[in-house]
Chain A
Amino acid sequence: MHRRYLIVAAMSAFALVAAAGLGLAFFGVSDSGAVRTGVAAIGGPFTLVDDTGKAVTEKTLAGKPYAMYFGYTFCPEVCPTTLFDLSRWINDLGPDADKLNYVFVTVDPERDTVQLMHTYLSSFDKHIHGYTGTAEQIAKIAKEYRVYYKKIPTDDGDYVMDHSAMIYLMGPDDKFVSLIRYQEDDASALAKLRKLTTMAPVS
């Protein structure tokens, strides 16, 4: 507890979220696959809108395991790379790909409108859905998923976003299963996704 307060003092209101993300990142480095953790729950209720304009909540994803990634379309590198990797892995899963849901949640709702999310995702596998919302709604889901993000102003009056760069793998019961790190090798990422598909209820 003492240490946590120190961090809070040293950083900002973002520190709590950051610290959680940090712990998760370290966990991610040492994890070996689909392992349930004892850490504070990741995931929770949210209300957003998908890239077709439809309202979505945590119940939209209920029943199927899912992969969730937080990023933004203004991102020149990490986000397109990750979404491209995910698209390849979805392709590699073959018919089993349908056993999972795949969601790209923006951390930049100011720029990432429903229309832009839809256009952007047309460049990736059609299984991937885009979620956006109000700044408050995005703050809420980021908190539920222990995602760190922060707006960083640039000299030209624009801004970029710092953000957690991992894919969360969640069970059909909305519980955290595992995660895929940025540029994790294909074999490892695919093994985790395959494991996740086995958690899907038999239909």
Chain B
Amino acid sequence: MRYLLTLASAALLLAAAVPTFAQSTSIHIDKPWARATPAGAKTGAAYMTIDNKSGQPDRLTGASSDVAKTLQIHEMKVVDGVMKMREIPGGLPVPAGGSVTLKPGGYHVMLIGLNKALKKGEKFPLTLVFEKAGKVSIEVPVESVGAMHSDMPGMGHMDMK
């Protein structure tokens, strides 16, 4: 119970109270990025690679940011030519000692109800919530509207790994 309450409070407190679980060293976020949004768009998407350095599986269960009202962890698929996008029930699993990549055409953190357009060259804060690692705060740089990867704007179909 105490652990749960702590989890719900500030990340710093959490780190102090439960150092074995809450250290942000267990989760590393590589190459976070988001797409610039078209004018008037109410939604956006953030992408990244999540590395889980710990010996136990974790799960990305939520996110928050002051750029949007609601953030959800989504999976996007094109099935037989039809685009389907869904919130991942229970969050996105990150295997122990493994990684998962959020990228166009797959998983993304969906930003719903944007407070302002995401403009190329800007950054915004994003706090990710993991089941075990707790909160991880990052800065997300905004790439061009057609970007497919964090550092190769406009160049599709190139795998970073």
Contact = CB atoms under 8 A, between A and B. Distances in A.
Nearest to A158: B112
Q: Which one of A78, A155, A185 has the highest number of Cβ atoms from chain B below 10 Å of its Cβ?
A: A78
Interface residues of A, number: 44
Contacts of A21: 80-82
Chain B contact-residue range equals 20 to 34
Interface in A132-175: 148, 152, 154-156, 158, 160, 162-166
B63 to A, nearest CB: 14
Contact of B81 (A28, A77, A158): A28
B97 interface: no
Contacts of B41: 73-74, 76, 80, 120
A123 B82 contact: no
B146 interface: yes
B35 to A, nearest CB: 7
A7 interface: no
Q: Which one of A21, A73, A119, A185 has the highest number of Cβ atoms from chain B below 10 Å of its Cβ?
A: A73
Interface in B31-68: 35, 37-45
Interface in A63-99: 73-78, 80-81, 83-85, 88
Contacts of B146: 80-81, 84-85, 88
Q: Which one of A121, A124, A158 has the highest number of Cβ atoms from chain B below 10 Å of its Cβ?
A: A158
Given A84-B146, A124-B38, A78 B87 contact: no
A119 B40 contact: yes
Contacts of A26: 80
Contacts of A162: 82-85
A139 to B, nearest CB: 16
Given A158-B112, A165-B78, A183-B105, A80 B38 contact: yes
Contacts of B108: 76-77
Interface of A: 18, 21-22, 24-26, 28, 73-78, 80-81, 83-85, 88, 111, 116, 119-124, 148, 152, 154-156, 158, 160, 162-166, 181-183, 185-186
Sorted from nearest, which 3 A-B pairs have the closest CB atoms? A25-B81, A119-B40, A123-B38
